[in-house]
Amino acid sequence: MTNLMLILLSDNIVYVVLFSRSFAYLTIKDRTPQILTKVIDTLHRHKNEFFEKHGEEGTEAGKKAISLLSKLRNELQTDKPIVPLVEKFVDTDIWNQYLEYQQSLMKESDGKPRWFHSPWLFVECYMYRRIHEALTQSPPIDDFDVFKELKEQNFFESQESIISLCTYLQELMRTIEELDEDQLKNEFFKFLQISLWGNKCDLSLSGGETSSQKNDLISSLEDLKPFILVNDMERLWSLLSKKTREKASVRVDIVLDNSGFELTTDLVLADFLLSSKLATEIHFYGKRIPWFVSDTTIHDFNWLIEQVKHSNHKWVAKCGVDWENCVKMSRLVYHDHIFWTLPHEYCAMSQVAPDLYAELQKADLILFKGDLNYRKLTGDRKWAFTIPFHQALSDFHPAPLCSIRTLKAEIQVGLQPGQGEELAASEPSWLTSGNLFYLQTFVLHLTCGMDGRKHKIEEDEADGIWRNG
């Protein structure tokens, strides 16, 4: 049953609202409470560790964090108002200013921003920021990463694939100097697809359920190709190979997504780019706080390289030693700016985090991994499927950039006329099932206006979850 409804909102944009159960609604209604319950369960299971480490104070801290998170879950499930952050942290004021901005978008009659009455992107990011606040309010366990176990499990369960990946890379290293241009391009395409496939291993989509990479990836690449919806690899190659011919140093920046298997595929891609001299330095961007369950923090990055270095498989261990050396020689550089864990869409970066924008401008190419980055690149708006990618970026272009993303949310641009409709006919959940891949490049610096309609996601009842206001 769907109802049509016209709503006039404070910014005087009229939305025709179709009430249909949406991915955003199901995320907030079902998946985020499930994730919170897993976090509370994790804290319960670490009670003894907290006591052993910190005595009675640790036990009390665990209880406090659990009660704060239980309160958060209740606020979410009963659609309470979104409350300001209270614990002083580097981004507390920015978050509370953003909450005031959301309030300003609402009509007085709509009251305050609530969990089911706010943009999905904001509410989902806010939930992870409140999890972080609950821990920082519970010293001495304030530095405990409630998602650490899940991220490590993903890595350990993907060992088969990691071994085949590292073995392939090390075997290629033996002959990489002799590859001709075509052979090099084909290897580049392989490592790009491996990094793309790695994005399927995402624990927030799975609600924390295991999502490791079980089968051998290299041999599956041909089977994977039909699932690539937009494939700009050729354009990516011509951009990068041209830069390599023209410049002595070429910098590729990779905005990371999930730790575990996906991070391993990104390190393998980075190693290939450096070893093939397609790049001379790689800059990685991770998250400052635990984020969307599986996203990479500096602790995850250092832990993974250490694990790989100490592997009992010789080619895996060789990769770990190489990666550690690249970090020491600053050929691999890791950044974790707080902006990446704010709710802002990326077209706001030059205002909100001009230092980060200036850093990205030094890159010859930026690769954005994953779905959440794609949502922030496109402002989480309901663009028509055929809107060009550069237009959806709404003036965000620090450097030529490429989104490498598995579709997991109901946003998609850059398609051919009819392509989205065709996919919907063949697989109704094509946007959120995580079965389709998306390698879209924006390599030309074009300015563009913001003409995307904002995305409104509704479910059956009168309330709805809105995308970015």
Ligand X SMILES: O=P(O)(O)OC[C@@]1(O)O[C@H](CO)[C@@H](O)[C@@H]1O
The answer to whether residue 322 forms part of the interface with ligand X (CB under 6 A) is no
Q: Give the bridge partners for 4, in sequence order.
A: 18
Q: Are 57 and 17 in contact (CB under 8 A)?
A: no
To the nearest 10 degrees (0 to 180), the angle between helices 92-105 and 120-136 is 150
CB of 372 to ligand X, least distance (A): 3
* Contact predicate 72/28, CB 8 Å: no
| Residue 375 CB, nearest approach to ligand X (Å) | 5
In the complex, what is the shortest distance from the CB of residue 367 to ligand X, in angstroms, rounded to a whole number?
Answer: 13
The torsion region of residue 111 among left (phi > 0), alpha (psi -120 to 50) and beta comes to: left
Segments of 299-364 assigned E as strands: 332-335
For Mn ion, which stretch binds (CB under 5 A), given 32-40, 116-124, 258-266, 391-399?
Answer: 258-266
Query: Residue 300 corresponds to which amino acid?
Result: D
**CA pair distance 221, 219, nearest whole angstrom:** 6
Cβ neighbours of 226 (radius 10 Å): 9
Q: Which residues pair with 442 in a beta bridge?
A: 401
Q: Which is nearer to Mn ion, 213 or 258 (CB)?
A: 258
| Rounded Cα distance, 242 and 247, in Å | 9
The span of 81-89, 141-149, 249-257, 429-437 binding Mn ion (CB under 5 A) equals 249-257
119-130: b (≥16 Cβ within 10 Å) or e: bbbbbbbbbbbb
Q: Is the dihedral of CA 336, 342, 344, 348 positive or negative?
A: negative
409 binds, among Mn ion, ligand X, none (CB under 5 to 8 A by kind): ligand X
Site membership for ligand X, residue 370 (CB under 6 A): yes
375 makes contact with ligand X (CB under 6 A): yes
For the chain, the 3-state helix, strand and coil shares in percent, each to the nearest 5, are 50, 10, 35
Answer for which of 371, 410, 458, 459 binds ligand X (CB under 6 A) is 371
- From candidates 257, 345, 364, 458, binder to ligand X by CB under 6 A: 257
Looking at residues 278 to 317 of the shown chain, list those that interact with ligand X (rule: CB under 6 A).
292
The only residue of 27, 158, 258, 403 in contact with Mn ion, by rule CB under 5 A: 258
Residues 67, 343: Cα–Cα separation, whole Å: 25
Beta carbon nearer to Mn ion, 133 or 257: 257
Kindly tell me which residue out of 22, 27, 195, 468 binds ligand X, with binding defined by CB under 6 A: 27
Q: Whole-number minimum distance, CB 263 to ligand X, in Å? A: 11
Which residues inside 416-435 make contact with Mn ion, applying CB under 5 A?
A: none
Interface residue with ligand X, options 42, 154, 258, 264 (CB under 6 A): 258
Phi then psi for residue 458, to 5 deg, are -120, 160
The least distance separating ligand X from the CB of residue 369, rounded to whole angstroms, comes to 7
Residues 6+ apart with CB under 8 A from 192: 233, 236, 269, 404, 439
d(CA 354, CA 357): 5
> Shortest distance, CB of residue 456 to ligand X, whole angstroms?
17
Using rule CB under 6 A, residue 372 touches ligand X: yes
- Determine, following the binding rule CB under 6 A, whether residue 382 of this chain makes contact with ligand X: no
Give the C-alpha separation, 47 to 53, whole Å: 10
Answer yes or no whether residue 205 interacts with ligand X by CB under 6 A.
yes
Pick from 191, 237, 284, 292 the residue near Mn ion by CB under 5 A: 292
* Encoded amino acid at 333, one letter: V
**Cβ at position 345, least distance to ligand X in Å:** 13
- Check: CB of residue 449 under 8 Å from CB of residue 9: no
Nearer Cβ to ligand X (300/371): 371
Name the nearest CA neighbour of 282 among 230, 332, 328, 323.
Answer: 332
DSSP designation for 454:
P
Site for ligand X in 397-436 (CB under 6 A): 408-409
- Closer CB to ligand X, 46 or 408, in the complex: 408
Using CB under 6 A, pick the residue from 202, 266, 322, 410 that binds ligand X.
202
The interface region with ligand X, picked from 54-62, 196-204, 306-314, 448-456 by CB under 6 A, is: 196-204
Q: How far is the CB of 263 from Mn ion (least distance, A)?
A: 11
List all residues 6 or more positions away from 236 whose beta carbon is below 8 Å from its beta carbon: 192, 365, 402, 439, 441, 443
Judged by CB under 5 A, which stretch of 120-128, 139-147, 292-300, 311-319 contacts Mn ion?
Answer: 292-300
Instruction: State the Cα–Cα distance between residues 264 and 166, nearest whole angstrom.
Output: 9
109 exposed, middle or buried (CB, 10 Å; 0-12, 13-18, 19+)?
exposed
Question: Does residue number 295 form part of the binding site for Mn ion (CB under 5 A)?
Answer: yes
Give the interface segment with Mn ion, choosing from 91-99, 190-198, 257-265, 348-356 (CB under 5 A).
257-265
Q: Of these, 118, 164, 195, 199, which contacts ligand X (CB under 6 A)?
A: 199
Q: How far apart are CA 52 and CA 141, in angstroms?
A: 12
Decide if residue 336 touches Mn ion (CB under 5 A): no
Q: Which C-beta is closer to ligand X: that of 315 or that of 430? A: 430
Q: What residue 281 binds from ligand X, Mn ion, none (CB within 5 to 8 A, per partner kind)?
A: none
> Is 257 one of the binding residues for Mn ion (CB under 5 A)?
yes
Binding residues (CB under 6 A) for ligand X: these are: 27, 31, 124, 199, 202, 204-205, 257-258, 292, 370-372, 375, 408-409
Q: Which residues bind Mn ion (CB under 5 A)?
A: 257-258, 292, 295
